[in-house]
């Protein structure tokens, strides 16, 4: 199912042109228009799912292998030393387009820091309390 008001549905379906790296019956992989690094790509399912919580199980099972395939090709072709697979869910997490997508971000030796955070501190009691809360909703 697609959403007529969704730009990624239009891109994934080929209605809006994009720089496409890969396409099959379930996915289109495109270059990001605002790349975090050279080669930054987006894996778009052709069906509309708002985020990972809405994602179909069969499609979900194919996303990580596809991320590995694209990332491996980036290492061979672009000479990046590694890559990040990043997937944002919800505005608070940085999601700006509400059609599930996974970023594949090539990382180069000596490149800028990104996808990182400053480790905080938590007591064993706090960890246990947080764990109990989450486990209560699984």
Positions annotated as catalytic residues are: 101
Shortest distance (Å) from residue 138 CB to ligand 5GP: 25
Question: Segment 29-48, which members bind ligand 5GP (CB under 6 A)?
Answer: 30, 32-34, 42
CB distance 100 to 45 below 8 Å: yes
Question: Which spans of this chain sit near Zn ion (rule: CB under 5 A)?
Answer: 3, 6, 8-9, 48, 99
6 vs 52, which CB is nearer to Zn ion? Answer: 6
How distant is the alpha carbon of residue 72 from its chain centre?
16
Side-chain-facing half-sphere of 29: CA atoms under 13 Å: 24
**Looking at 94, 119, 120, 124, which residue binds ligand 5GP (CB under 6 A)?**
94
Give the 3-state secondary structure of residue 85: strand
CA nearest to 37, candidates 116, 118, 117, 114: 114
Which of Zn ion, ligand 5GP, none is residue 96 near (CB under 5 to 8 Å by kind)?
ligand 5GP
Q: Which is nearer to ligand 5GP, 3 or 32 (CB)?
A: 32
Using CB distances below 5 to 8 A depending on partner kind, what does residue 88 bind out of Zn ion, ligand 5GP, none? ligand 5GP
Residues 6+ apart with CB under 8 A from 116: none
| Total Cβ atoms within 10 A of residue 91 | 9
Binding region for ligand 5GP (CB under 6 A): 7, 11, 18, 30, 32-34, 42, 88, 94-97
């Amino acid at each position: 199912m697609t959403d007529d008001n969704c730009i990624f549905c239009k891109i994934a379906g080929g209605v809006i042109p994009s720089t496409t790296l890969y396409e099959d019956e379930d996915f289109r992989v495109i270059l990001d228009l605002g790349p975090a690094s050279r080669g930054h790509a987006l894996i778009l399912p052709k069906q509309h799912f708002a985020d990972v919580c809405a994602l179909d199980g069969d499609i979900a099972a194919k996303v990580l292998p596809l991320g590995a395939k694209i990332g491996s090709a980036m290492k061979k072709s672009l000479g990046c030393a590694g890559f990040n697979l990043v997937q944002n869910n919800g505005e608070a997490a940085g999601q700006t387009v509400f059609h599930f997508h996974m970023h594949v971000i090539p990382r180069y030796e000596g490149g800028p820091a990104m996808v990182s955070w400053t480790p905080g501190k938590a007591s064993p009691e706090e960890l246990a309390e947080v764990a109990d809360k989450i486990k209560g909703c699984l």
